């Protein structure tokens, strides 16, 4: 029995039920596959579930998502992180609607030409939505393959070797089920710690298991230390509790999202008092105790928070800024770090 046949037989008995997964024997809508795969990048299945259901309820077809204002998409995405994904999601929906008449292309190259679709996502969509024999290698699959063949080269250098092995195992039939089966196997059996080899359909073939090194694989090159940047966030509140928010530039980190104004975020020594000169408006700023911490892909951020009461209940008087009452915050595209800042400002 081939590796793929064993994995497929296991999948038929143990497949996970997921909100975006079609019932056994049925093929899912490409739109559904694409949406879930974009959401699942860097995010866990548990977190994605609710977001996915909300998106599908609100925008059941790709054309509906394409027609939505970007701000609505960013607000609905708020909290999922890696916001470039949301901007690309919207751009991709528009490209599919305008250039492909609302139908996702069915081959990897055409999929990769769309915004936000990289090698892995293209392969996943081609396999799951169109049953193409494409090899979709995500972190879970990487782990299974590295162990199955006892690949000891550390990641990321091991990627080409892993990809080569993975591609050779893809079956001609049921390629979509096979892709999902490997993902499930990595997520529920071949876990990073304490792999459940006793339950694994690949146990008799697995070299890492034989060598007793499964848990040490895949090996990883030592991570570079992330730098820490620091800054001062300015929470200006009106007497009715509304907070001044402004929109970030469309490109770059948290592009197009809403934010509380802040000083520049810098590495090195930082004194909150000195950063007060960067306040967006003149006010009696009070620096609050404590620090808001958040980690981005490339750096840690520590924000001290300054708070002041606005002298006026009138317009914000700052370009690109607007007042937002606390009860309307959920409608705004506020990234998690900014939610933390506002919560900290109103803690006392
Ligand atoms: Fe992973 Fe163990 Fe299966 Fe090998 S036998 S693939 S280590 S779960």
CA–CA separation, 86 and 71 (whole Å) = 10
Number of neighbouring beta carbons within 10 Å of residue 328: 10
Residue the block writes with tokens 């292309």? 105
Residue the block writes with tokens 């929906």? 93
Ligand 1 in reach of 206 Cβ (< 6 A): yes
Interval 4-13: pLDDT, tens: 999 999 999 9
Q: Which atom of ligand 1 is nearest to the CA of 195?
A: 8
CA–CA separation, 267 and 226 (whole Å) = 11
pLDDT confidence band for 167 (50 / 70 / 90) = very high
CA–CA separation, 201 and 143 (whole Å) = 15
Tokens representing 114 are 């769309």
CA–CA separation, 52 and 55 (whole Å) = 5
Ligand 1 in reach of 345 Cβ (< 6 A): no
Interval 291-323: pLDDT, tens: 999 999 899 999 999 999 987 766 667 778 889
| Confidence (pTM) | 0.79
CA–CA separation, 86 and 70 (whole Å) = 9
Identify the residue with better confidence: 333 or 65. 65
Q: Which atom of ligand 1 is nearest to the CA of 197?
A: 2
Element (H, E) at 98: helix 84-99
Tokens representing 183 are 């993902």
Whose Cα sits closest to atom 2 in ligand 1? Answer: 197
Tokens representing 118 are 């990289």
Peptide bond into 264 cis (omega under 30): no
Q: Are residues 244 and 323 in contact, defined by beta-carbon separation less than 8 angstroms?
A: yes
- By most ligand atoms within 8 Å of CB, the mutation choice from 209, 211, 212, 216 for ligand 1 is 209
Tell me, what's the pLDDT at 264?
94
Q: How far is the CA of 182 from the centre of ligand 1 (A)?
A: 11
Q: What are the backbone dihedrals phi and psi of residue 27, each rounded to the nearest 5 degrees, phi first?
A: -105, 135
pLDDT at 325 over 90: no
Ligand 1 in reach of 189 Cβ (< 6 A): yes
Q: At what angle do helices 175-188 and 3-14 cross, to 10 degrees?
A: 70
Tokens representing 42 are 């860097």
Distances (CA, A) of 123 to 37, 131, 141, 167, 221: 11, 10, 13, 11, 26
Q: Which atom of ligand 1 is nearest to the CA of 185?
A: 8
Q: How far is the CA of 297 from the centre of ligand 1 (A)?
A: 30
Ligand 1 in reach of 143 Cβ (< 6 A): no
Question: b/e map of 188-225 (b: 16 or more CB within 10 Å)?
Answer: ebbeeeebebeebbbbeebebbeeeebeebbeeeeeee
Residue the block writes with tokens 């980190």? 253
Q: Tell me the pLDDT of the chain averaged across its residues.
A: 93
Tokens representing 165 are 């092995």
Dihedral, 144, 149, 153, 159 alpha carbons, nearest 10: -60
Q: What are the backbone dihedrals phi and psi of residue 303, each rounded to the nearest 5 degrees, phi first?
A: -110, 125
How large is the average pLDDT for residues 67-95?
93
CA–CA separation, 185 and 140 (whole Å) = 8
Radius of gyration of the chain (CA): 24
3-state DSSP assignment of residue 107? coil
Element (H, E) at 295: strand 292-295
Q: Are residues 10 and 174 in contact, defined by beta-carbon separation less than 8 angstroms?
A: no
CA–CA separation, 184 and 232 (whole Å) = 43
Q: How far is the CA of 205 from the centre of ligand 1 (A)?
A: 9
Interval 185-211: pLDDT, tens: 999 999 999 999 999 999 999 999 999
Highest mean pLDDT among 26-30, 79-83, 330-334: 26-30
Q: Are residues 124 and 177 in contact, defined by beta-carbon separation less than 8 angstroms?
A: no
pLDDT at 212 over 90: yes
Highest mean pLDDT among 45-49, 148-152, 223-227: 148-152
Interval 233-253: pLDDT, tens: 999 999 888 999 998 988 888
Whose Cα sits closest to atom 1 in ligand 1? Answer: 190
How large is the average pLDDT for residues 323-337?
88
Give the residue numbers annotated as catalytic, written as ranges: 37
Ligand 1 in reach of 147 Cβ (< 6 A): yes
């Amino acid at each position: 029995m081939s590796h793929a046949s064993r994995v497929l037989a296991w999948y038929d008995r143990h497949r996970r039920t997921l909100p975006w997964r079609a019932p056994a024997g049925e093929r899912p809508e490409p739109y559904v596959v694409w949406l879930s795969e974009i959401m699942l990048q860097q995010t866990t299945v548990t977190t994605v579930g609710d977001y996915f259901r909300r998106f599908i309820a609100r925008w059941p077809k790709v054309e509906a998502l394409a027609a939505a204002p970007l701000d609505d998409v960013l607000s609905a995405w708020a909290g999922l992180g890696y916001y470039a994904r949301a901007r690309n999601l919207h751009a991709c929906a528009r490209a599919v609607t305008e250039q492909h008449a609302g139908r996702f292309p069915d081959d990897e190259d055409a999929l990769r030409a769309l915004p936000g679709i990289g090698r892995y996502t293209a392969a996943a969509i081609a396999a799951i939505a169109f049953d193409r024999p494409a090899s979709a290698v995500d972190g879970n699959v990487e782990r299974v393959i590295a162990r199955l063949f006892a690949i000891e080269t550390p990641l990321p250098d091991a990627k080409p070797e892993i990809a080569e092995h993975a591609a050779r195992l893809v079956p001609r039939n049921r390629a979509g089920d096979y892709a999902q089966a490997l993902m499930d196997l990595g997520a529920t059996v071949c876990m990073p710690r304490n792999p459940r080899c006793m339950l694994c359909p690949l146990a008799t073939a697995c070299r890492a298991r034989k060598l007793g090194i499964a848990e040490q694989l895949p090996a990883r090159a030592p991570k570079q230390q992330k730098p820490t940047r620091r800054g001062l966030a300015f929470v200006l509140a009106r007497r009715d509790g509304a907070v001044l928010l402004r929109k970030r530039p469309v490109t770059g980190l948290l592009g197009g999202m809403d934010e509380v104004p802040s000083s520049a975020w810098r590495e090195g020594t930082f004194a909150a008092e000195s950063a007060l000169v960067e306040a967006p408006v003149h006010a009696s700023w009070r620096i609050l105790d404590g620090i808001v911490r958040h980690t981005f892909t490339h750096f840690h951020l520590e924000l001290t928070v300054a708070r002041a009461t606005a002298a006026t209940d009138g317009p914000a008087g700052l370009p690109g800024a607007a007042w937002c009452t606390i009860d309307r915050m959920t409608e705004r595209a506020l990234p998690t770090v900014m939610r933390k800042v506002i919560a900290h400002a109103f803690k006392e």
